[in-house]
Structures are given as structure tokens and as C-alpha cells.
Structure 1
Amino acid sequence: MKILIIGSMGFIGQHLFRYFSEKGNEVWGADVVYDYINKDRFFLIDASNSDYNSVFQSSEYNLCVNCSGAANVPESLKNPLHDYTLNTINVFSILEAISKFQPACKFINLSSAAVYGNPKHLPVKEDSIPDPLSPYGFHKLQAEQICKEFYDFYDVKTCSLRIFSVYGPGLKKQLFWDLYSKAKSGVPFSLFGTGNESRDYIYILDLMKVIELVAQHSAFNADIINVANGVEILIKDVVSIFFGLFDHEIRYSFSGETREGDPVNWKADITKLISYGYQPAFTIEKGLEYYYKWVINE
């Protein structure tokens, strides 16, 4: 299979490029960053004016996975236009090029559980009414609607993955990176929230398997798929698990302060994902052990 990964230099994109390549596929990358291992299979994208016409005119692909965009809720509140450009306009530009030059190319859009906001019921199902808490969540939802638009009116085969909390080696932001950065200072510190907030985590290699299964089994009719392990864990518990890997005591507390745009509790209904044959290979304990072994060498 010939696969194009847009955003191939990002956290998920790099893992996906390697994963599909090791499976024997012909994988191409596209990103705004030029420092790339295989420049013969790489397209440089203009971050300020993304034009994907040349990308889809130059070669034919069986599958395009969009791993590009911004994933920063606080920054989306400060600069919503920038977030909208990267997360929404960018998806339109990609799909417009596909519809013009390669309408048979399947498209997987990496969306986010941020579209749900604070769900009224857990586990949250794909047909739950979205209620984003941030511009980031709104823009991800709008990108999903664009995927439906191109399926309904231009017959482009699309689907969107609502990814919950992905983590693993290579991720240099979000909770676990922040925890490690603060812990190594040796100074007591505080964390946002009460610790009773919850998330549904998925390890990066489990996400790779999910994307492979979706490529094989999705109807590509603009369908929406929750991506998580279906396991809710309190933040205070996951912090305790992570700090339990250190060889010294770490002193910290929860401030009780909340951040605008942050949901309280998440747990995904992954019935659809399980129907594709998905079985998580990594528990949170196992995944954090791998992450810790990586991060201490960074």
C-alpha cells in the first residue's frame, strides 16, 4: 500500500511513518519541517500557505493520514486564528486536493476527544452531542464536518478518529513530560486541578495498531471513531504510578486551580474500535515504564 502521512515529523506522524514502513508499505511524508531521513519521499509544506495540489498531482496514494495541526488548548485560546488555520483550513485544503486529483485516495483525519468537552454521560459514545470547551475543540469538530462535506458532496472516502489521551516516547509536552521536567529539579511543586480529574489513555504503539485497523475496516463514510483504551484513570493515580518509577521521593501537591478549556472526566466507549479487532497491548503501567526509560535519556 502507498501511504502519505501529512505531519510526518510530529509525535504521532514519526511513529506512524516508521510503523507503516516496517510493515512493508511505501510511505511518503509531508511536513513544514525539512529535516527528514528520506528526502526522496518527502514534500515540504509551506506553513503559512499550504498547497497540497502538487503533492497529489505528483503521485497516487491508497491512503492519506493527516497527523498535522496544532494540539495546544491554551494557545488556541490566545491565538484562535492560528489554531483554525492549522486544524481546520488545513483539512479543507488537503481534501480539496484529494477530490481534484485523487478521489479514490482514502483519508484518515486525526481528530480529538476535545470535541466532547465535558460529557454528560460516561463512557462517551461517538453519537454524543459535541460541546467543545475551547477553540481547539471547535476547530477539530469543524474539521470533522469538513470530512463529512467532502464525503457527501464529492465522494471522498473519509473518517475521523477522536483520539483521547495519547502518550509515549517522543512526546515532549503534556502531563508526563511536564511531570518529569518538574520532578528532576528536586524542588516541591504544584499541579493544576484536584487530582480527581480523569483521562482515558492510549499508548502510542496501540494508536499505531488502531490506525492500521481503521484503514482495513472503516467504511470511510465520514464515520467517527473513538480512540482510547476504554479505561478511566484519575490524574492523581496516574501521577502516582509515574512517580513510582523514580528512585527518589518527589514532593508535589494539587493546587485545586482549573485551566480554561480543560475537561474534568473522560472515558471512551470503544465498542466500534473493538469491532475492528482492537485489543490494547499496553496498560498504563507498562506504557509509563517505556515512557520513563525514554525520557530519562532526553
Structure 2
Amino acid sequence: MIIWITGANGFIGRHLVRVLADQGHAVYGIGHGAINEPERQRIGLGEWLNGEIDATNLNTLAGRSGLPSTIFHLAGGSSVGLSIAQPLEDFSRTVSSTARLLEWLRASAPECRLIVASSAAVYGAHHAGAISEEAETRPMSPYGHHKLIMEQLCRSYADSFGIRAIIVRLFSVYGPSLRKQLLWDLCLRLGRGQRELVLGGTGNEARDWTDVRDVVQLVAWLARVDGESLKVLNGGSGIATSVAEIARLVTNAWGGNIAVRFSGTVRAGDPFSLVADARQLAALPFNWRIPVQEGIAQYVSWYKGQAR
């Protein structure tokens, strides 16, 4: 198949390129950031277009690759904090790029299958326990609001123009090559020799942690799922792990006598609990392979290896 990935130069995108290329697909990418020739070949990317997701660039990519059979839309904002600091930039990255992509699909490739990476942030902070796909969406950050608008655009084009889309709401994705967020911050501080870590929040905040190597297997697999013109799925395991437990796993894997305490100050836009109801995914069926204990230990090993 001819496959395009928007945001192929990102954390999830690079992992997904490798999986799809290994499956024998011709994989092309568009988004921001330079990728040199050796790196492009290493990750398995047939062509990379560094630029905005707009009609001109999409037509250029189609001229090089042919029309795609599937597009994985990973481009968009990736940080709650940055969306609060720069909401217009986050809107442009998530909402405007999606609108331009959908309009190009409507006019140029209406039969193309679209797999869209959204976020559990669309659910907001008022849920306790596992959250089903039918739960009320009440996002509490610009990041979450923009992901929800992106989903609504996909629904509009599915209803009005028959665009086929699967939206997967990803939860807490981590893994090798992630250079931001909690795990990266913990390892940075430990690498600087800190032996007492003070973290925000209470430590009881619960998240559904999923290893990126599992996530890209899921996302790639969804391209083979048939059904209605629009489908929304939780991309989570259904297993809750507290931030305190994650910190314990990181410090145990690091080694040494390390103390962790929590300030009690909650970050703006941060829900207390985001855990998936994974029954729809399990029924398809899809199985998560990497338990969080194993994944966190491997992340620490990756960090120590790249820090040498």
C-alpha cells in the first residue's frame, strides 16, 4: 500500500514509519522538521516533505508517491503546557491542519482511509474510573479542546462526504526516544545526580500508560479494521498506574537511594484520572504486549544508553 503519515518526524511517527516499512508498505511523510537522507533511509521513509499540511504540499507529495490508500494523521499539538502558553499555535497545528487535510481528501482522494491520533484529554477531569468512548467530553485545556474540534471535523466530513476515518484517543504514551514529559524529566534530574525528587501533584494521579511500541502496532492494525464511516476508539490498556508508582519504577530501575516526594500543587489542565475503558479494543481484538513495569525499565536503559 501507499501510506502517508502526517507528523512522521514526531515521537510516535518515527516508530510508526518503521513498523509500516517493515510490513512492506511504501511510506511517505509530511510535517515539520528536517530529516537527512541517511536518517530517512534508516527509519524506512520513502519520501519526506518538510512543510505545512496544505493543498500545495499534499499535491506535491501525491505527485511523488501517487495517491495514498491510507493516511495516518499524527500531526498536531502534543503538549498541554504549550497549548496554554501558545493556544493559537496549538489550534493551527491541530485544527487548521486537519481541516486542510480533510478538504484535500474530499477533493483529491475520497476513497483514502484516514486514521487519526486524538487524545484522552478530550474527556476532561470529571471522570472516575475507566472512561468509555461514549463518556461526556469536557476538555479542560486548549490542547484537549483542539483535539475535540479535530474529531468533530472528521465526523462532519464522514457524515457529509463519506470520508472513512478511525479516531483513536491515545492515553499516556511513553517509550524509547521520548524526550519530554514525566519520564524524561525524571531521568534528566537523576542523570544530574539528584537524589531527592520533588514532583507536582499528590502522586495519586492515575494514568493509562502505554508503550509506544504497542501503540504503533495498534495504530497500524487499525488500518485493516472495516466498519462504519467513522469509528472512535480508546487507545488505552484499561490499567491505571499512579504517578507515584511510575516514579518508583523509574528510581528502582535507575538504582541507588533516591527519595521522591510530592508538592501537592496540581498543574493547570491536568486531570486527576485518565484511564481507558478498553472493552471495545479488546473485542476487536487487540492485545497490549508490554507491561508498564517492563516498559519503564527499558525506557531508563534507553536513556542511560543515549546519555553516554
For residue 77 of structure 1, the aligned residue among 51, 65, 84 is: 84
Given that residues 66 and 107 in structure 1 are in contact (C-alpha distance below 8 angstroms), is that contact kept between their aligned partners in structure 2? yes
Name the residue aligned to 1:282. Answer: 290
CA displacement 1:64-110 (0-9 Å, x = unmatched):
00111121111111211100000111111111111111111111110
For residue 172 of structure 1, the aligned residue among 172, 179, 186 is: 179
1:185 is aligned to 2:189 = no
For residue 217 of structure 1, the aligned residue among 213, 221, 225 is: 225
Aligned CA distance change for structure 1 residues 234 and 52 (closer, same or farther; 3 Å): same
For residue 273 of structure 1, the aligned residue among 257, 281, 301 is: 281
Residue identity in the other structure for 1:34: A
Instruction: Provide the C-alpha distance between the structure 2 equivalents of 1:235 and 1:252, rounded to a whole number of angstroms.
Output: 11
For residue 236 of structure 1, the aligned residue among 229, 244, 260 is: 244
Given that residues 192 and 254 in structure 1 are in contact (C-alpha distance below 8 angstroms), is that contact kept between their aligned partners in structure 2? yes
Deviation at 1:50, TM superposition (A): 7.9
Name the residue aligned to 2:49. Answer: 43
For residue 55 of structure 1, the aligned residue among 42, 61, 64 is: 61
Name the residue aligned to 1:161. Answer: 168
For residue 141 of structure 2, the aligned residue among 120, 124, 134 is: 134
Instruction: Provide the C-alpha distance between the structure 2 equivalents of 1:88 and 1:112, rounded to a whole number of angstroms.
Output: 13
Given that residues 83 and 89 in structure 2 are in contact (C-alpha distance below 8 angstroms), is that contact kept between their aligned partners in structure 1? yes
For residue 199 of structure 1, the aligned residue among 197, 200, 207 is: 207
Deviation at 1:47, TM superposition (A): 7.6
Residue identity in the other structure for 2:249: I
Instruction: Show structure 1 runs of 5+ residues with no match.
Output: none
Q: Match of 1:216, SS?
A: coil
Q: Match of 1:161, SS?
A: strand
Single out whichever of 164-173 and 116-125 deviates more from structure 2: 116-125
Instruction: Provide the C-alpha distance between the structure 2 equivalents of 1:151 and 1:57, rounded to a whole number of angstroms.
Output: 26
Deviation at 1:212, TM superposition (A): 2.3
1:262 is aligned to 2:308 = no
CA RMSD in angstroms comes to 1.8
Deviation at 1:18, TM superposition (A): 0.4
Given that residues 247 and 260 in structure 2 are in contact (C-alpha distance below 8 angstroms), is that contact kept between their aligned partners in structure 1? no
Residue identity in the other structure for 2:185: D
Q: Match of 1:46, SS?
A: coil
Single out whichever of 87-96 and 184-193 deviates more from structure 2: 184-193
Instruction: Provide the C-alpha distance between the structure 2 equivalents of 1:272 and 1:231, rounded to a whole number of angstroms.
Output: 15
TM-score by length of 1: 0.95
Instruction: Provide the C-alpha distance between the structure 2 equivalents of 1:259 and 1:224, rounded to a whole number of angstroms.
Output: 28
Report how many aligned residue pairs link the two structures.
Answer: 298
Single out whichever of 176-185 and 53-62 deviates more from structure 2: 53-62
Instruction: Provide the C-alpha distance between the structure 1 equivalents of 2:281 and 2:52, rounded to a whole number of angstroms.
Output: 34
Instruction: Provide the C-alpha distance between the structure 2 equivalents of 1:281 and 1:100, rounded to a whole number of angstroms.
Output: 39
1:245-260 superposed matches below 5 A = 245-260=253-268
TM-score by length of 2: 0.92
CA displacement 1:171-205 (0-9 Å, x = unmatched):
00011001101112223331010101110011111
1:102 is aligned to 2:83 = no
Displacement over 4 Å in runs of 4+: 47-51
CA displacement 1:114-133 (0-9 Å, x = unmatched):
00011434210001010101
Deviation at 1:49, TM superposition (A): 9.8
Given that residues 92 and 146 in structure 1 are in contact (C-alpha distance below 8 angstroms), is that contact kept between their aligned partners in structure 2? yes
CA displacement 1:5-32 (0-9 Å, x = unmatched):
1111100000000000001111111122
